[in-house]
Amino acid sequence: MMGQISDRVSRLAASATFAMMQKSNELSAQGVDVVNMSVGEPDFNTPDYVKKAAIEAVEANYSKYSPVPGYMWLRKACSDKLKRENNLDYTPAEILVSTGAKQSLCNVIMAIVNPGDEVLLPSPCWVSYPEMVKLAGGVPVVIKAGIDQDFKVTAAQIEAAITPRTKAMMICSPSNPTGSVYSREELESIGKMLAGYPDVFIVSDEIYEHINFIGGHQSLAQFVDKDRIAVINGVSKAYAMTGWRIGFMAGPEWLVKACNKLQGQYTSGTCSVAQKAAQVAFDGPQDDVEKMRQVFQKRRDLIVSLAKEVPGFEVNNPQGAFYLFPKCDSYFGKRYGDKVINSAEDLAMYLLEVGHVATVGGTAFGSPECIRFSYATSEEKIVEAFRRVKKALAALE
């Protein structure tokens, strides 16, 4: 019956991040002591005041279908957050709450991309962007930035990739997988250039907003017309709430309506209890967010110094998120017994099977010369991981 699988799904790549997380978990289940630096999720617990709000919501019988675009009080909390933290004006009617920022992104792509439309992807980019575009029948157009440019594309590079078929661009800052953060000036120059191409819609993924080591977040939405941008955010990363599955899109009302229609046929409104928790996360005290940010910054300093000591690794100094994306292609062609490391995926598998450190190969992020480490784990584990990585790499011939 395998032949019954649609072309749409056959063409789709499985999520490389979740695949490596699963491999790592399988090995752990066999009793192997693995340091898991594959999937990107904070290792902290959700703050207590958020958990309490959810417990209260259960007791107050928040157990019915929620409105498809999210409860009005949560849309209002999102709109207040955008004003307070980003100085962006969005009414609650311009917000749509979804089951994670992942659904918010996919909603937008499904709502605007027609078969054959091109979507620009400044790259390295998150594994799900090209697949979402493919799901919609669109054509992912990768614009590559190497480590020599801190993995950030220039306005000129984006402009050179625009064609009459360009429908949209997806940009992420702070970035997964590189941790790079576009400066205010860089975003402004991209915004100015895009003003000359009013038909290109912009999807700005700001899910790592609060994990920022340069003193504050800048949104591309400051520099483009509001009618042509969707700002994506959520609670997963800032509030250590990956499992609660709440994300949102802020955008023009025509897009909110289209995504609402899609969501109404596909998943309905997201979990009612999680919505209450998210409201309290946005409206409540933000001290925990800052505490976690500081811990991430210390870990960033640690992992960068450790990675610089690894022979053959080339690293940038990430300014946000919790990823390091070393260039590691100097190991390609090396051998371990009768096995040859031909790619970043081979290297990631070798590090997992021999070094017992789980990472993700860079190909799925558009950079076959790199591997990704998620440092959302303790300092002890980061130190232990790099001890193992160095030892395993030294054993290659």
* Residues engaged in binding ligand PMP (CB under 6 A): 40, 100-102, 126, 172, 176, 205, 207, 234, 236, 242, 247
Selected range binding ligand GLU among 79-87, 124-132, 211-219, 250-258, rule: CB under 6 A: 124-132
Residue number with CB closer to ligand PMP (355 or 362): 362
Sign of CA dihedral 31, 306, 290, 371: negative
Torsion of CA 338, 343, 348, 350, to 10 degrees: 10
Minimal CA–CA distance to 296: which of 263, 262, 322? Answer: 322
Minimal CA–CA distance to 78: which of 251, 292, 205, 220? Answer: 251
State which amino acid sits at residue 310: V
Minimal CA–CA distance to 108: which of 269, 258, 245, 266? Answer: 258
Shortest reach from residue 163's CB to ligand GLU, in Å: 29
Shortest reach from residue 160's CB to ligand GLU, in Å: 28
Residue 94 interface partner, choices ligand PMP, ligand GLU, none, CB cut-off 5-8 Å depending on type: none
Selected range binding ligand GLU among 14-22, 194-202, 252-260, 264-272, rule: CB under 6 A: 14-22
Shortest reach from residue 66's CB to ligand GLU, in Å: 23
Residue 234 interface partner, choices ligand GLU, ligand PMP, none, CB cut-off 5-8 Å depending on type: ligand PMP
Residue 247 interface partner, choices ligand GLU, ligand PMP, none, CB cut-off 5-8 Å depending on type: ligand PMP
Helix (H) or strand (E) holding 133: helix 128-135
Minimal CA–CA distance to 101: which of 217, 209, 223? Answer: 209
Binding mask 25-54 for ligand GLU (x = CB under 6 A): --------------xxx-------------
Shortest reach from residue 390's CB to ligand PMP, in Å: 27
Shortest reach from residue 16's CB to ligand GLU, in Å: 8
Minimal CA–CA distance to 320: which of 202, 242, 205, 222? Answer: 205
Are the beta carbons of 35 and 377 closer than 8 angstroms? yes
Shortest-Cβ-distance residue relative to ligand PMP: 100
Minimal CA–CA distance to 205: which of 241, 270, 249, 267? Answer: 249
Strand order across the beta sheet in which 229-234 lies: 95-98, 247-250, 229-234, 201-205, 166-172, 118-123, 139-144
Distance CA 212, CA 216 (A): 6
Residue 314 interface partner, choices ligand PMP, ligand GLU, none, CB cut-off 5-8 Å depending on type: none
Q: Kindly identify the residues of this chain, within the stretch 174-233, that bind ligand GLU according to CB under 6 A.
A: 176
Residue 336 interface partner, choices ligand GLU, ligand PMP, none, CB cut-off 5-8 Å depending on type: none
What's the first-to-final CA gap in the chain, in angstroms?
44
Residue 123 interface partner, choices ligand GLU, ligand PMP, none, CB cut-off 5-8 Å depending on type: none
Residue 39 interface partner, choices ligand GLU, ligand PMP, none, CB cut-off 5-8 Å depending on type: ligand GLU
Residue number with CB closer to ligand PMP (203 or 357): 203
Residue 269 interface partner, choices ligand PMP, ligand GLU, none, CB cut-off 5-8 Å depending on type: none
Total of chain residues touching ligand GLU, rule CB under 6 A: 11
Q: Kindly identify the residues of this chain, within the stretch 138-177, that bind ligand GLU according to CB under 6 A.
A: 176
- Number of C-beta neighbours around residue 78 at 10 A: 27
Are the beta carbons of 256 and 93 closer than 8 angstroms? yes
Shortest reach from residue 207's CB to ligand GLU, in Å: 8
State which amino acid sits at residue 171: I
Residue number with CB closer to ligand GLU (71 or 323): 323
Residue 15 interface partner, choices ligand GLU, ligand PMP, none, CB cut-off 5-8 Å depending on type: ligand GLU
Minimal CA–CA distance to 274: which of 86, 84, 85, 103? Answer: 103
Residues at the interface with ligand GLU (CB under 6 A): 15, 17-18, 39-41, 102, 126-128, 176
